[in-house]
Amino acid sequence: MAISVLVRADGGAAIGGGHIVRAKIICGALRSEGFDPHLLTKEDSWTRSALQSTAWTVHVLRPGENESLVVEKAIRRLAARVVVLDVRDTSAEYVRYLKETGARVVTIDDPGAGAGLADAAFRGGVAPRREKNMYLGPDYTILSPDISAFREQSRPPAAAARAVCFLGTFDAKHYGRWLPEAAAAFPRITFEWFSGGGSPECPLPNLRIMDLSHPAFFQSLVSADFAVVSGGVCLFESLAIGRPALVLAQAPHESDQAVLFSSMGAAVPVHPPTAARLIEEIRGLADEPSRLADLHHRALAAVDGRGLERFLALIRTLAR
């Protein structure tokens, strides 16, 4: 009988889509490994759409329900040996309560006090180091298994001729409004903007607005000379594929991640986040193409894209 693993993650306009994207990756990988994954998520219309036609069971946390009690009951009902919490700011009390079921608890990118009590805590967006139950640094970033194939295709850019832009599932700060201005400033650069919808019509021939669900996103990314991205999952994807990244952070933790990779010479934060500063940073890459190759090599060194392998190895150990 397959061992059950309960994954807890949410998505939506308030927190973005990255947690649900990662939960789908985790559940898919667990199923391929022979586990029986279950995803527990809060009711949300976007999340409901994103989780259509999954090969695992999705459980919905309804408004007003006691989360701790619902999760605890799900653990016992499923006889889950491992609980994966892809939620931020867990409390020590919450994690201690879940561990009383006998399940092992793993947290992902959680700066809360609960991570210290978990059996293992993965945090990819912080400086690399190893502390007790903590797996810290970009080596522990969980990305799509498809990354490895595109990483092998990656080559150093020779010139800033093509850019891929993705500013998060919801572009909470509406930074996308600056992309037409940037495209107008650089008519010889082709910009492909992957957007979640609501993007303005743009008559500029060098700005292509792509649907977020476009299946060729990774292929476009590996073929691009640089990327304009927010500081969440798409930043890690860009670096793992070796793309020089200009970062427009959408949240405080994304700003921290942009600073981290800037300190490694692997990314360029757009700070302060303005249209003028974005254009200035693009001009810097266009005028000095050697920077693109340097960023490419440092990006590949910063994020190896194998965090999912490390995560699965840990789950196999904890589930014994």
Q: How many CB atoms lie within 10 A of CB 202?
A: 16
Indicate whether 298 and 171 sit together in one domain: yes
Containing 64, the helix (H) or strand (E) segment is none
Provide the pLDDT for residue 210: 87
Q: Which backbone phi and psi does 122 adopt, to 5 degrees?
A: -95, 125
Count H helices, E strands: the chain? 12, 14
Indicate whether 170 and 268 sit together in one domain: yes
Indicate whether 131 and 54 sit together in one domain: yes
- Specify whether the CB–CB gap between 23 and 6 falls below 8 A: no
Domain containing 96 equals: 4-143+306-318
8 Cβ partners below 8 Å, 6+ apart? Answer: 39, 40, 41, 71, 83, 84, 85, 86, 87
Indicate whether 200 and 119 sit together in one domain: no
Provide the pLDDT for residue 160: 98
- Specify whether the CB–CB gap between 38 and 78 falls below 8 A: yes
Residues 255-287 as b/e (b if ≥16 CB within 10 A, e otherwise) read bebbebbeebebbbbbeebebebbbebbeebbe
Provide the pLDDT for residue 213: 61
Indicate whether 172 and 257 sit together in one domain: yes
Provide the pLDDT for residue 198: 52
Half-sphere exposure of 171 (CA within 13 A, CB side): 19
Instruction: Please report, in tens digits, the pLDDT of each residue of the chain (320 residues total).
Output: 899 999 999 999 999 999 999 999 999 999 999 999 999 999 999 999 999 889 999 999 999 999 999 999 999 999 999 999 999 999 999 999 999 999 999 999 999 999 999 999 999 999 998 888 999 999 999 999 999 999 999 999 999 999 999 999 999 999 999 999 999 999 999 999 998 655 556 779 999 988 776 558 899 999 999 999 999 999 999 999 999 999 999 999 999 999 999 999 999 999 999 999 999 999 999 999 999 999 999 999 999 999 999 999 999 999 99
- Specify whether the CB–CB gap between 302 and 258 falls below 8 A: no
Place of tokens 């006889």: 79
DSSP letters of 109-176?
S--SGGGGGSSEEEE-SS--EEETTEEESGGG----TTHHHHHHH----SSS-EEEEE--SS-TT-GG
Provide the pLDDT for residue 216: 80
Indicate whether 96 and 135 sit together in one domain: yes
Provide the domain count of the chain.
2
Provide the pLDDT for residue 189: 98
- Specify whether the CB–CB gap between 222 and 154 falls below 8 A: yes
Indicate whether 296 and 155 sit together in one domain: yes
Q: Tens digit of pLDDT for each residue in 171-205?
A: 999 999 999 999 999 999 999 999 865 555 677 99
Indicate whether 234 and 120 sit together in one domain: no
Provide the pLDDT for residue 212: 72
Residue 105 CA to residue 315 CA, distance in Å, equals 10
Here the tokens at position 112 are: 């809360």
Provide the pLDDT for residue 226: 98
Provide the pLDDT for residue 227: 98
Using DSSP, state whether 37 is helix, strand or coil.
Answer: strand
Provide the pLDDT for residue 31: 97
Indicate whether 137 and 181 sit together in one domain: no
